[in-house]
Each structure stands twice: as C-alpha cells, then as structure tokens.
Amino acid sequence: MAQNLGNLFIDGEDVIEDENGTHSITNSGATINTDQKKFGASSIDFSSGYISVADSDDWDVINNNFTIDFWIYKTTAWDSVLTALFTHAEDSQTYFTSYVYGTGATIYMDAKDGTTLASRSASPSSALTTNTWHHIAYVYDGSSYFFFVDGVKLATSGATYPTMPNLSAPFIFGRNAAHSYPIFDGYMDNIRITKGTALWTENFNVEDTDAMFYTPIPETGTPYVRPNSITEFYSASSQGSLRGKASQGFIRPTIQQFFAPYRRRFEEISATPILYGYTEDQCEGGIGTVDSMLDDNILYQGSNSFDNDFLDPDSMWYSAQTDMPHWLQYDFGAGNEKQIRKYTITSNGVSTGRAQAAPYNFTFEGSDNGVDGWNILDTKTSQIFTGYETKEYEVSNVNSYRYYRILVTANNNAWDGAWPQVVVVQELEMMEGVYE
C-alpha cells in the first residue's frame, strides 16, 4: 500500500499548509482551533474566514477521475441559506462548487462552463447533524459521480456535467467565490484533493485508517512497493526499483511526497528528542551527604555510596537508628546540573539484616538548591532487596538539577523488625539519557 496524501492535503495541525509541500495557501481569516478536532491536536475554524490554495493544474479534476474529501463539524443549524464548502471559480459564469442547502442538509455540486450549468445533489441517508464530525467525499470514476457521507454512498440525481475548461483560479475552501453565499460556519479537518483516482465507489469505513489514507496497489500496471527504509528509498530512486524487489517496479515519489507523512513526527522528535540509551554513572567529582550516620561514625558517611565499590562490606551509608525519613543526597556542583533519567540502588549483603535495611519505600527527588523545592521524580514502594542486589529505575525527568536524593520512609523490617528505622545503601548511581 502507498500512503496517499493526494495532490493536496491540509490537516489543520499547527499551521495551515499543504502537507505535500507543493501548493501555497492564502489564509483569509481562518484559524487553527484546538477545541474541536477529528485527528491530531487541532482543526481549521472557518467561522471567520476561508482559505485559498493557489491555482494549479491539479484542480482540473471534474473531467478526470478524482476524489475530494474532508471532515466537517457544523456549529449552527442547516437552513434555507446556501452554505459553501468549496469552490473553484474564474467568475460567476465559470466555476465548480459544492454547498449544502436546506434543513435536510442536501449536498450539491455544481459546474458551469460559461454557458451551461449542471447541478447534482444528494440527501444524506441519516442526518448531517450539527456539532458532530462528518466525512464528505465527492468521487468520479470516469463514468459515474458519487457522493459519500460518513462512508455511505448516496443516491445522486441531476444533470451531466459539461466539459469544463482548466480554470485559472485558486481552489477555495469555506467560501463560494462565484456567489455571495455565507462562509462555512464550523470546522474542517484533513482536507484532500486526489486527481486521477476514484478512491471509493462503494461504502467504506471512515474510521479505518487504511481506507481513509491509503490507496491499494493497482491491479494492472506497475505496482507500488513501499521502501522499508530511507536507505532503500535512495537505492530505489537511483536504480528505478527496490533492491531485492527488481521484479516489482518502484514508482518513485518525490522527496516531499515520501517524507510528508513523517514530517510532523520529525518535528515532534526535534522538539522532544527520543531517548534510546543512558550514560555511565555520573556521580563523580561531586559531594555525597546524608541526614545521619550510625553513631555519627564517619565510616558510614554518604560518600561511601558514590565510590563505585559494590562489594566492600564496609563501604556503605548506614543511617542512624532514628525516626524516618532518612535521605542520601548528591551535589553535582554549580554549573554542572544533570538531567537524570535513570538511577540504581545496590544493597549491602554482609547480613540478611543489612539487605533488609535497604530502601523499601522511597522517593527519588531533584532540587536546584538542595534545601527546599524538592521535586519528586519517582516514587517506589515495596522494594525488596537481597544481598548486594542492584535495582534499576527509569524516570521521566525533563529538567536538570544540581542536587538529587533518595528520601527513604521505610525499610523491609530490618533485622526481622528489630531495627525498623535504619537505612543501609551500598551504592547509588545516576545516569543521564542519551538521545537520538
């Protein structure tokens, strides 16, 4: 299957533009709206304006196979005033247009070649309700015209369209440029024009992504083979066929067409880089501190838990036997803030009691000053350690902090409950993310 963005595709995401990068668009008062959208984060609000797509041979469609489709969301009731959806017009005598008329929301598509006017219409089988998203499609397969609403083919009636000249005019959505009909009062999303292809001739599922945005491999002629990678795409571009698929000719899209479906995703990636790995432990050159040490003995100081000694039975932080919570903190130093995305805790294993004294319930926190403003980055409960066991924890941290700490509120009934207030940590490591 080939992803089909047609000759024009406007999705109403962030900016009003052709996703193919082919056609320029002039915006006359339409706006991006995030309150109503069929797909993505926004749609186009036409209540105060319309959009014009620059003139192109791509709009010479009425005498060719074509599909014009889009989603609409009408905010006011349909009435006896003609409501414009789109128009391609040189003047009031030469045009191609569609509008909705009457409380029953009858859909019309008119064409006039300068002399002869032909109009075709269809009434939806179910109500074209307001404040609801509906999909509308106009299709010509070389012999018959079809109107669809929400994937249901409608019975159309009216005259045969005249042979139309190739109009020299922009294609306008939300307004009738040939007559003074009111602008469309509502929203549109995923506006598409496809020249040369009748996407549907029978009922289809409008919620089916494949049906909506893909066209099947043609039964005759050279089939489309989608490349599996950018490397394969470039190989196919230079060789005329896909590597290893030479028996199937490759219809080479333009660079813009190939990358158009992914452009939005690339922008998201550039704004929020993808995490694909982690650095080594970053706790080097800083200062480790604690809230307390057993008997105030410096042998149990916080720096022990940052010396990368995972097995020395005496190289650990051993808190005082005082009320929880207890904390183990690391200062990376001024100007050396870190965006920590992963941390590890290793238990001491000299005895079962010390393993039980590892953090059981705790939070992992970051701070700019190490005094207040602690931000909880991760919360863990019921963490049971065996002796000299290392547990890894990933965090969704988007900020860089100078200070990090674990704040422990319970151990695992150390020494079978005899020392419930003590904490023992062999090692605490912290890693930054590695981004693509």
Q: What domains can be seen in the chain, in order of their start residue?
A: 2-214 (2.60.120.200), 217-272 (no CATH), 287-435 (2.60.120.260)
For the record, the structure tokens of 232 come out as 């394969």
pTM of the model: 0.52
3-state secondary structure of 396: coil
Statement: residue 135 has pLDDT above 90: yes
For the cut 50, the answer to whether the pLDDT of residue 306 exceeds it is yes
**Distance of alpha carbon 260 from alpha carbon 18, whole angstroms:** 9
- Write the CB contacts of 70 (distance below 8 Å, at least 6 apart in sequence): 85, 135, 136, 173, 188, 189, 190, 191, 192
- The model's pLDDT over 142-182, given as tens digits with 9 standing for 90+, comes to 888 899 999 999 988 887 888 888 889 999 999 886 666 66
Chain segment 72-94, per-residue pLDDT in tens: 999 988 887 788 899 998 888 99
28-85 residue pLDDT tens: 999 999 888 888 888 999 988 899 999 999 998 887 889 999 999 999 888 877 888 9
Residues 6+ apart with CB under 8 A from 132: 73
